[in-house]
Amino acid sequence: MEFAVREAQADDAPAMIRYAQVLFAEPGLDLPTSPGEFTLTVEQEEAVVAEYAAAGNCVFLLAMAREGEIVGMLNCRGSSRRALRHSCVMGISVAREHRGAGIGTALMQSMLNWASASGIKRIELNVYARNQRAIRLYRSFGFQAEGRRRAAVFQDGEHLDDIVMSLLL
């Protein structure tokens, strides 16, 4: 499958919302959001994209299929506090039908290129302990586990652990 990674733009907001609504409705999803919880309007999503674009330590990346469909997203949000501006918290997702096609890898590489150019020194994330596929991806880029948060998430009637991971650049 052909796709390209680029930064999100305000006019991507409707497609970003559609992508998120489909993603969050997926049964057994390893993200701490339940169906119906994602309720951003187009205007609110546009504001999020603008906020990321205006900050020097934030990025919102999209993986776009040739047909213009969003097939993956990655965001890194840095803090506005001076003491924390060197670090950001990352989240990533890939559309179910496109997993295993290298989209996550491409998003991660684009994010690392951005981080290096932006002076980011630390990237952190939380990942469900059961999500071994994602953990392997993060480790392949050098992320290391820093700790386990026991019963951090309550989803689909069960308490789930997650793992805190980070990468120092």
Whether 138 maps to a domain, the answer reads no
- The mean pLDDT of 137-146, rounded to a whole number, is 98
What CATH number does residue 31 fall under? 3.40.630.30
In a domain, 159, yes or no: no
Residue 156 lies in a domain: no
In this prediction, residue 98 carries a pLDDT of 94
Instruction: Quote the tokens at residue 95.
Output: 């559309």
Read off the pLDDT of residues 18-76 as tens digits, 9 standing for 90 and up.
999 999 988 888 999 877 888 999 999 999 999 999 999 999 999 999 888 999 999 99
Question: Would residue 84 count as lying in a domain?
Answer: yes
Average pLDDT over residues 138-151: 98
Are 104 and 136 contacting, i.e. CB atoms less than 8 angstroms apart?
no
Question: Which structural domain range is residue 48 located in?
Answer: 3-126
Residue 110 within any structural domain of the chain: yes
Residue 142 within a domain: no
In a domain, 144, yes or no: no
In a domain, 22, yes or no: yes
Q: Would you put residue 22 in left (φ > 0), alpha (ψ -120 to 50) or beta?
A: alpha
**Lowest mean pLDDT across 11-15, 65-69, 145-149:** 65-69
How many domains does the chain fold into? 1
Secondary-structure breakdown of the chain: helix, strand, coil percentages, each rounded to the nearest 5: 35, 35, 30
The string of DSSP codes covering 67-132 is: TS-EEEEEEEEE-SSGGGTTEEEEEEEE-GGGTTSSHHHHHHHHHHHHHHHHT--EEEEEEETT-H
